[in-house]
Structure formats: C-alpha cells, structure tokens
Amino acid sequence: MTARPPAGAHRATRQGRAIVAALRASPSFRSAQEIHAELCAGGQKTGLTTVYRHLQRLADDGAVDVLRQPEGDVMYRYCASDEHHHHIVCRECGRSAETDCPELSDWADRVAHSLGYSDVSHAVEVFGVCADCRAARR
C-alpha cells in the first residue's frame, strides 16, 4: 500500500512567486488584471486564471487584504500587519496606509448590540487624496 503524500499543501511555482513578489512590491491595492498585465509586460508569462487563483488563496489565508472599490472591482494588497485593521486609500493613485481601529470596533459593537444584532463585524474604508496627489494637482 503506497502511502501517498498528505495532499493539501501548497507547491512552489514560478507563477506563485511572481504574484507574491508583485504584491509585495506595491504600496497600493492592485487588481488581478493589473498584476497580470504587469507580469506579462515584465516577461513573466502567467495566465490570468492563475493570478485569480493565487489572489483568492492569499486572501483566504489572510495574507492579503481585499478591498472592493466603490466601482466594484476587487483589489488586493499585501498587508504589513496580520491584526484587524483598516485602510486609507487615495482616490487618485490608490496609495494606501494602514491604521488600527480600537475605537471603531467598540463603536460598532455598541451600536449593533443596542439594536439587537449579534455576531458583529464591520467593514470600513476611508478615502481621501494623498499628499503627493494633492501636490501634483496644482
């Protein structure tokens, strides 16, 4: 009886490394299509499907944060922190910064419970214009 491998681990591939590298190199949230285009342009041939698959798994594993823009596109960013936190995203260039949110969690819990809701979670995104973009404007 040939005891087969555990079957469940991730395998190291050129494409996976390239996708993680692209995410790590960017201070902004990026879409699957942007990453795909970037890899192709840089000579790293990779299927769009594969990019989607890796981003999805990275998100499931909690390695990247997912942001759904007001327009609907889903964007990903490699996060410095693995704690729960939120982002401030530049409306013009996409650059984002992270911030924690103790007061926010308290507020959400308090309000939700007072209205009879349990199992509370919250989604917060703050948008603005970053210093660079403001300078470039004028």
Partner DNA sequence: GTCTAACTGAAAACGGTTATCATTTCGAAA
Partner DNA sequence: TTTCGAAATGATAACCGTTTTCAGTTAGAC
The contact set with a copy of itself (CB under 8 A) reads 68, 70, 72, 74, 88, 90-91, 97, 99, 101, 103-104, 107-108, 111-112, 115-131, 134
How would you class 115 by CB atoms within 10 Å of its CB: exposed for 0-12, middle for 13-18, buried for 19 or more?
Answer: exposed
C-alpha dist (Å) from residue 5 to 1, 2, 8, 9: 12, 9, 9, 10
Residue 14, C-beta contacts closer than 8 angstroms, at least 6 positions apart: 44
Residue 101 contacts Mn ion per CB under 5 A: no
**Which among Mn ion, a copy of itself, DNA, none contacts residue 2 (Cβ within 5 to 8 A by kind)?**
DNA
Q: State the residue number with the nearest CB to Mn ion.
A: 79
Residue 112 contacts Zn ion per CB under 5 A: no
Residue found under tokens 């190199």: 25
Among 8-16, 21-29, 98-106, 109-117, which window interacts with Mn ion (CB under 5 A)?
98-106
How would you class 56 by CB atoms within 10 Å of its CB: exposed for 0-12, middle for 13-18, buried for 19 or more?
Answer: middle
* Residue from 29, 36, 39, 65 binding Mn ion (CB under 5 A): 65
**Which among a copy of itself, DNA, Mn ion, none contacts residue 115 (Cβ within 5 to 8 A by kind)?**
a copy of itself
Distance from C-alpha of 76 to C-alpha of 68, rounded to nearest angstrom: 9
User: Can you give the binding site for DNA, defined by CB under 7 A?
Assistant: 2-5, 7-16, 31-33, 45-50, 52-54, 56, 72-74
